[in-house]
């Protein structure tokens, strides 16, 4: 066996802590920039796509929300129907299923 395989790597804990602190600081700063950008675009309805000098991209656009589905409510409904002995055909299931679709708000 090679001696290099038996050697354990040693980490400079002070350097690791320094880099971890810098990382936390950078995340906090990025979060503040993100809040500032959101505030600047607040109450606007203009789509923006701009390429930045550093290779990044600024995009602000309207996102059409997909409707959600209340799975818990629908399964509780089906469970109740089964416990009552009610049999539903495909058309009835589709009709009832439509009642459990939850609209979602679109957003910028």
Whether residue 27 is found in the same domain as residue 49: yes
pLDDT digits (tens, 9 = 90+) for 22-72: 999 999 999 999 999 989 988 888 899 999 999 999 998 888 889 999 999
What is the domain range of residue 26? 11-60
pLDDT at residue number 30? 97
If asked whether residues 56 and 73 sit together in one domain, one would say no
Please state, in angstroms and rounded to a whole number, the distance separating the CA atoms of residues 36 and 43.
14
Q: Residues 80, 52: one domain? A: no
Backbone angles phi, psi at 53, to 5 degrees: -60, -30
Q: What secondary structure letter does DSSP report for 40?
A: H
3-state secondary structure of 83: helix
Residue 4 in domain: no
Query: In this structure, is residue 16 part of a structural domain?
Result: yes
Structurally, how many domains does the chain consist of?
A: 2
């Amino acid at each position: 066996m090679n001696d290099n395989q038996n050697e354990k790597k040693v980490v400079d804990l002070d350097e690791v802590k320094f880099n971890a602190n810098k990382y936390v600081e950078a995340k906090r700063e990025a979060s503040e920039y993100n809040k500032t950008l959101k505030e600047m675009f607040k109450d606007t309805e203009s789509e923006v796509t701009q390429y930045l000098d550093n290779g990044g991209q600024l995009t602000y656009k309207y996102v059409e929300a997909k409707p959600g589905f209340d799975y818990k409510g629908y399964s509780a409904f089906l469970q109740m129907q089964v416990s009552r002995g009610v049999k539903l055909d495909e058309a009835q299931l589709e009709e009832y299923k439509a009642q459990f679709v939850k609209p979602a708000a679109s957003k910028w």
